[in-house]
Structure 1
Amino acid sequence: MTSTELKGFILTRRWRDAPAGTEIEYWLATDAGPMKVVLTSQTCVAFVEIRHRASLESHLVAKPGMQVRELALKTFHHEPVIGVYAKHFRQLGQLARALQTQSIAVLEADVRPHDRHLMERFITAGVLVEGGRTDGHTIVDCTLKPAPEFRPALRVVSLDIETSQHEELYSIALDGMRDRVVFMLGEPPSGPQLAPDETADFALVYCPTRKAMIEQLNDWFERNDPDVVIGWNVIQFDLRVLQKTADDCGAQFLPGRERRPIDWRTHPRKQGYLFAPTPGRLVIDGIDALKAAVWSFPSFSLETVSQTLLGEGKAIGDEYDKMAEIERRYQHDKPALALYNIRDCELVLRIFDKAKLLQFVLERAQVTGLQADHFGGSIAAFSHHYLPRMHRLGYVAPNVGEIPSKAFPGGYVMDSKPGFYDSVVVLDYKSLYPSIIRTFLVDPVGLVEGSNIDDPAMLVKGPQGTTFSRTQHCLPEIVTTLSRARDEAKRQRNEPLSQALKLLMNSFAGVLGAAECRFFNPKLVSAVTLRGHEMMKLTRDFVERRGYQAIYGDTDSIFIWLGRTHANQEAHAVAASLVKDINDWWTRTLRDEHNLENFLEIEFDTHYSKFFMPTIRGSDVGSKKRYAGLSTDAAGKEEMVYRGLEMARSDWTPLARQFQEGLLSRIFQGEPYRDFVADYAQSTLAGRKDDLLIYRKRLRHRLDAYLVNVPPQVRAARIADEYNARVNRPRQYQNGGWIRYVMTQNGPEPLETRHSRIDYEHYLTKQLQPIANAILQPMGESFTALTTSQKVLF
Structure 2
Amino acid sequence: MDIITGVYFRRGSQLAQAVYPGFILSRQQTSYKGKTRLCYWLKTQQGATKAFVEHEKSVFFVKQIHQDIVKTRLNQVNCQFQLAQVPLKHFDQSQVVALYFSSLSDFYLAKETLNGHVPLYEEDIRHADRYLMERYIKGSVWVTGVSKQGNGYLELHNAKLKAHPSFIPQLNMLSLDIECSGDGVLFSVGLVTQSEKVVIMIGVPEPSDINIIWVEDEISLLNTLQELINQLNPDVLIGWNVIDFDCVVLHERAQALGVSLNIGRDGDAMQVSSGNFTRVLIPGRVVIDGIDTMKNATYHFETFKLSFVAKSVLGREKLIGQDDRLEEIVRQFHEDKTSLAKYNLEDCILVWDIFQQQSLLDFAIARTRLTGLELERMGGSVAAFTNLYLPPLHRSGYIAPNLGEHGLNFDSPGGYVMDSKPGLYQNVLVLDFKSLYPSIIRTFCIDPMGLIEGGRNTYDAIPGFNKGLFSRVHHHLPELVEQLWAARHRAKQDGEHMLQQAIKIIMNSLYGVLGSKGCRFYDPRLSSSITMRGHEIMQTTRRWIEELGYEVIYGDTDSTFVQAPDTFSHQACLDLGKSLMHEINTRWEKELSEKYHLQSFLEIEFETHYHPFFMPTIRGQETGSKKRYVGQIEKNGEHELVFKGMETVRSDWTTISKEYQQAVIRALFDGQSVTEVTEHYIALITSGSVDDKLIYKKRLGKPLDAYVKNIPPHVRAAKEATRLGYVNGLGKGSQIAYFISQSGPQLYIKELKLLDYTHYIEKQILPIYKMLPNVDENTINLAGQRSLDL
TM-score, scaled to structure 1: 0.93
Q: What is the Cα deviation at residue 317 of structure 1?
A: 2.7
Q: What is the Cα deviation at residue 241 of structure 1?
A: 2.5
- In structure 2, the CA distance between the partners of 1:323 and 1:517, relative to structure 1 (3 Å rule), is closer
Distance in 2 separating the partners of 1:454 and 1:247: 62
The aligned counterpart of 1:475 is 477
Q: What is the Cα deviation at residue 755 of structure 1?
A: 7.4
Q: 1:145 aligns with which of 155, 159, 162?
A: 162
Q: What is the Cα deviation at residue 250 of structure 1?
A: 2.6
Residues 188-199 of structure 1: pairs in structure 2 closer than 5 A? 188-189=205-206, 196-197=208-209
AA aligned to 1:204 is: I
The aligned counterpart of 1:207 is 215
The aligned counterpart of 2:453 is 449
The aligned counterpart of 1:350 is 353
Distance in 2 separating the partners of 1:308 and 1:468: 47
Distance in 2 separating the partners of 1:183 and 1:158: 14
Q: What is the Cα deviation at residue 454 of structure 1?
A: 4.5
Q: What is the Cα deviation at residue 577 of structure 1?
A: 1.1
1:766 and 2:763 equivalent?
yes
Q: What is the Cα deviation at residue 582 of structure 1?
A: 1.2
Q: What is the Cα deviation at residue 335 of structure 1?
A: 3.0
The aligned counterpart of 1:790 is 784
The aligned counterpart of 1:732 is 729
- In structure 2, the CA distance between the partners of 1:758 and 1:551, relative to structure 1 (3 Å rule), is same
Q: 1:67 aligns with which of 82, 100, 118?
A: 82
- 8 Å contact 1:89–1:113 — kept in the other structure? no
Q: What is the Cα deviation at residue 435 of structure 1?
A: 0.7
| Secondary structure of the corresponding residue to residue 786 of structure 2 | helix
Task: Give every structure 1 segment of 4 or more consecutive aligned residues whose post-TM-superposition deviation is greater than 6 Å.
Answer: none
- 8 Å contact 1:3–1:139 — kept in the other structure? no
Distance in 2 separating the partners of 1:160 and 1:360: 22
- In structure 2, the CA distance between the partners of 1:511 and 1:735, relative to structure 1 (3 Å rule), is closer
The aligned counterpart of 1:552 is 554
AA aligned to 1:206 is: W
Q: 2:748 aligns with which of 751, 765, 774?
A: 751
Distance in 2 separating the partners of 1:736 and 1:445: 41
| Secondary structure of the corresponding residue to residue 83 of structure 2 | strand
- 8 Å contact 2:740–2:756 — kept in the other structure? yes
Q: What is the Cα deviation at residue 788 of structure 1?
A: 5.1
Q: What is the Cα deviation at residue 345 of structure 1?
A: 1.4
Distance in 2 separating the partners of 1:89 and 1:450: 39
Distance in 1 separating the partners of 2:663 and 2:496: 37
The aligned counterpart of 2:136 is 122
1:694 and 2:698 equivalent?
no
Distance in 2 separating the partners of 1:327 and 1:126: 45
- In structure 2, the CA distance between the partners of 1:96 and 1:665, relative to structure 1 (3 Å rule), is same
- 8 Å contact 1:127–1:144 — kept in the other structure? yes
Q: 2:92 aligns with which of 65, 71, 77?
A: 77
Q: 1:32 aligns with which of 46, 70, 73?
A: 46
Q: 1:488 aligns with which of 484, 487, 490?
A: 490
1:49 and 2:59 equivalent?
no
AA aligned to 1:759 is: D
Distance in 2 separating the partners of 1:129 and 1:709: 60
| Secondary structure of the corresponding residue to residue 412 of structure 1 | coil
The aligned counterpart of 1:229 is 237
Residues 343-492 of structure 1: pairs in structure 2 closer than 5 A? 343-404=346-407, 405-456=409-460, 459-492=461-494
Q: What is the Cα deviation at residue 179 of structure 1?
A: 3.9
Residues 595-674 of structure 1: pairs in structure 2 closer than 5 A? 595-633=597-635, 636-674=637-675
Q: What is the Cα deviation at residue 434 of structure 1?
A: 0.8
- 8 Å contact 1:261–1:278 — kept in the other structure? yes
- 8 Å contact 2:31–2:104 — kept in the other structure? yes
Q: What is the Cα deviation at residue 139 of structure 1?
A: 1.1
- 8 Å contact 2:741–2:755 — kept in the other structure? yes
Q: Deviations over 1:543-588 (max 9, x none)?
A: 1111111111111111111132422122111111111111122122
Distance in 2 separating the partners of 1:526 and 1:127: 38
- 8 Å contact 2:779–2:787 — kept in the other structure? no
Distance in 2 separating the partners of 1:177 and 1:707: 51
Distance in 1 separating the partners of 2:303 and 2:534: 34
Distance in 2 separating the partners of 1:334 and 1:563: 68
- 8 Å contact 2:458–2:469 — kept in the other structure? no
| Secondary structure of the corresponding residue to residue 55 of structure 2 | strand
Distance in 2 separating the partners of 1:740 and 1:324: 18
**What's the RMSD between the two structures over aligned residues?**
2.0
- 8 Å contact 1:231–1:345 — kept in the other structure? yes
Distance in 1 separating the partners of 2:673 and 2:713: 36
Distance in 2 separating the partners of 1:83 and 1:323: 55
| Secondary structure of the corresponding residue to residue 716 of structure 1 | helix
The aligned counterpart of 2:9 is none
- 8 Å contact 1:568–1:632 — kept in the other structure? no
- In structure 2, the CA distance between the partners of 1:753 and 1:348, relative to structure 1 (3 Å rule), is closer
The aligned counterpart of 2:19 is 5
The aligned counterpart of 1:779 is 774
1:252 and 2:260 equivalent?
yes
Return 404-413 or 493-502, whichever deviates more. 404-413
- 8 Å contact 2:174–2:234 — kept in the other structure? yes
| Secondary structure of the corresponding residue to residue 41 of structure 1 | coil
The aligned counterpart of 1:676 is 677
Q: What is the Cα deviation at residue 3 of structure 1?
A: 3.7
Q: 1:171 aligns with which of 154, 166, 188?
A: 188
Distance in 2 separating the partners of 1:619 and 1:14: 60
TM-score, scaled to structure 2: 0.94
Distance in 1 separating the partners of 2:458 and 2:555: 38
- In structure 2, the CA distance between the partners of 1:325 and 1:64, relative to structure 1 (3 Å rule), is closer
Q: 1:159 aligns with which of 176, 186, 189?
A: 176
Q: What is the Cα deviation at residue 327 of structure 1?
A: 4.2
- In structure 2, the CA distance between the partners of 1:455 and 1:164, relative to structure 1 (3 Å rule), is closer
- 8 Å contact 1:15–1:114 — kept in the other structure? yes
Residues 210-289 of structure 1: pairs in structure 2 closer than 5 A? 210-268=218-276, 274-289=278-293
| Secondary structure of the corresponding residue to residue 582 of structure 1 | helix
- 8 Å contact 2:319–2:343 — kept in the other structure? no
Distance in 2 separating the partners of 1:467 and 1:97: 38
| Secondary structure of the corresponding residue to residue 576 of structure 1 | helix
| Secondary structure of the corresponding residue to residue 515 of structure 1 | coil
- 8 Å contact 1:11–1:26 — kept in the other structure? yes
- 8 Å contact 1:96–1:105 — kept in the other structure? no
- In structure 2, the CA distance between the partners of 1:624 and 1:441, relative to structure 1 (3 Å rule), is same
Distance in 2 separating the partners of 1:559 and 1:594: 28
Distance in 2 separating the partners of 1:756 and 1:181: 43
| Secondary structure of the corresponding residue to residue 552 of structure 1 | strand
Return 585-594 or 513-522, whichever deviates more. 585-594
Q: What is the Cα deviation at residue 246 of structure 1?
A: 2.2
Distance in 1 separating the partners of 2:91 and 2:170: 44
Return 731-740 or 390-399, whichever deviates more. 731-740
Q: Deviations over 1:296-329 (max 9, x none)?
A: 1122122211121112222433122x44554454
| Secondary structure of the corresponding residue to residue 728 of structure 2 | coil
Q: Deviations over 1:441-470 (max 9, x none)?
A: 1101111001111433xx212223321111
| Secondary structure of the corresponding residue to residue 600 of structure 1 | coil
Distance in 2 separating the partners of 1:487 and 1:605: 18
Distance in 2 separating the partners of 1:709 and 1:535: 42
Q: What is the Cα deviation at residue 286 of structure 1?
A: 1.1
Distance in 2 separating the partners of 1:244 and 1:548: 66
Q: What is the Cα deviation at residue 416 of structure 1?
A: 0.9
Q: What is the Cα deviation at residue 43 of structure 1?
A: 0.6
Return 731-740 or 436-445, whichever deviates more. 731-740
